[in-house]
A and B are shown apart, each in its own frame.
Chain A
Amino acid sequence: MHHQYKLNGYNIVLDTCSGAVHLVDDVAYDIIGLYQDHTPEEITGIILEKYPDRADVTREDIAACIEDVTALKEHNQLFTPDTYEPIAGEYKNRSNVVKALCLHVAHTCNLNCSYCFASQGKYHGERALMTYEVGKQAIDFLVAHSGTRRNLEVDFFGGEPLMNWEVVKQLVAYARSIEQEKGKNFRFTLTTNGVLLDDEVTEFCNREMHNVVLSLDGRKEVHDRFRKDYAGRGSYDVVVPKFQRFVEKRGDKSYYIRGTFTHYNTDFTNDIFHMADLGFTELSMEPVVCDPSDPCALTREDLPVLYEQYEILAKEMLRRHREGRPFTFYHYILDLKNGPCIYKRITGCGSGTEYMAVTPWGELFPCHQFVGEQAYSLGNIWDGVTNTAVQEEFRSCNAYSRPECKDCWARLYCSGGCAANSFHATGSIKGVYEYGCELFKKRIECAIMLQAALSAEE
């Protein structure tokens, strides 16, 4: 299978199964489009008719191009058959390790964002803080189930994790104390709204946290629309200077300024550019996922607007890159040369198997987005996974488990997508969140254009 599209003056051809990317001219673009359903003679006729006055489009030129396409096919760089399906399930079945936990250290929040999927940090339950003992047991659970995996990820999440900061620090210290003995390398991440960010937190995070995710929605009026405190005051003026100070001290360690856009700011590129203009360079902006009846939900009518926005974003990133003031957009990060292997691409998200979320009470859920969905409770950190039926359902999710993905060119870029998005959109983790697919495909097209353009300029 292949996919071809035109964007920003580039004609791009993707070969789904080899991952090859080709930049082609108009003639080759048309020939590739015709190649599988037409004979060489038919292709030649169609091309000559389409380009009647071009000195460089002769029978010989067309024949040479058809030969080139054939060579690409023979070398598995175009129209490569999909032979991966048999190993998709096998790989995930073989792996029985846990390598990442999301610790919900605080089911409470000092902001009252109305669009919060976690219901102001409470996940539709009680407010609670994780104790050190629960957190320590979670880390022990992770180590005990991680097999020979060396890199283990622990995310401090909430609610707002800085509301339980002392426990976060104690848990980092505990994990570091057993790292060498257990042969592990912990990578910590903190996601914060920034309200409690101070010099002490900054210093600790810059020393210990592999990544820090800072929540900012963009322009002041956009950010303050949802991200308010309990008195109804917007948090932009409080958090932006803190984030700027934090990032200034961060050096070259990873961080993301991460926002959510909704139906109210479908011109979200202006929010991304605003973040960049504030001096931030590592940016992420996510479409809101919520009940379709919610006024902030993205609509079908928004889709063309969002497509255009993603194109504007890619073009502007290219422009700023050329001007020597680049920024990174999470969804446009594609390392075409050193990206994930085929196993990663067919296996997809490890939620429910390699990755789980832990509530303040030590209960296990397949991921942070399932916390509070009692039917998806997997067990707890003392007894392990006891709801094996649900875990098996997650284990069987891969790039081939949804019939809708079979004819999709993007399946090896998304691996079948997010189980939580599928669940929230369709009621089943094996469903397909079509709206998300449409946005995803557009983002990948833009990301590849961006990478191809940069590559072509090198």
Chain B
Amino acid sequence: MERIKTIETRNLCESVCSGGCGECQTSCQSACKTSCGVANQPCENQNRK
């Protein structure tokens, strides 16, 4: 694709099957204590796709 460069990202659609282990952080509590984001929290699933 000449005009479009796709950055490598985790495919959220595929993570429906591989995700949901629940081992990740559950809120902002260990960091800023006021954040409303989740996208910056790391995935803890060793078998992620």
Contact = CB atoms under 8 A, between A and B. Distances in A.
B39 A444 contact: yes
A150 B44 CA distance: 11
A432 B32 CA distance: 20
Nearest to A332: B40
Contact of B24 (A102, A189, A340): A340
A390 B15 CA distance: 30
A336 B32 CA distance: 21
Q: How large is the interface on A (under 10, 10 to 19, 20 to 34, 35 or more residues)?
A: 35 or more
B36 A421 contact: yes
A100 B19 CA distance: 20
Given A341-B45, A343-B19, A368 B8 contact: no
A345 B13 CA distance: 12
A28 B3 contact: yes
A442 interface: no
B40 A333 contact: yes
B35 A331 contact: yes
A415 interface: yes
Interface in B16-45: 16, 18-20, 22-45
B4 to A, nearest CB: 5
Given A22-B5, A339-B42, A344 B28 contact: no
Interface residues of B, number: 43
A155 B45 CA distance: 22
B6 A20 contact: yes
Contacts of A344: 19, 24, 38, 41, 43
A271 interface: no
Contacts of A20: 6-7, 9, 11
A68 B3 contact: yes
A268 interface: no
Contacts of A354: 26-27
A343 B35 contact: no
B30 to A, nearest CB: 4
A147 to B, nearest CB: 9
Nearest to A101: B29
B4 A334 contact: no
B42 A284 contact: no
Contact of B9 (A21, A72, A447): A21
A199 interface: no
Given A19-B11, A19-B12, A95-B22, A418 B35 contact: yes
A255 to B, nearest CB: 10
A340 B1 CA distance: 28
Contacts of B28: 349, 418
Contacts of B7: 20-23, 336, 451-452, 455-456
Interface in A310-366: 330-345, 348-351, 354-355
Nearest to B40: A333
Contacts of A436: 36
A46 to B, nearest CB: 16
A436 B4 CA distance: 32
28 contacts: A19-B11, A22-B4, A22-B6, A23-B7, A24-B5, A77-B6, A87-B16, A95-B22, A100-B26, A100-B27, A149-B23, A151-B44, A153-B30, A210-B30, A211-B30, A289-B34, A330-B32, A335-B42, A340-B38, A342-B12, A342-B13, A342-B16, A345-B12, A412-B12, A414-B38, A417-B36, A418-B35, A433-B36
List of 5 A-B pairs having minimum Cβ-Cβ separation, nearest first:
A341-B19, A350-B26, A418-B36, A28-B3, A341-B15
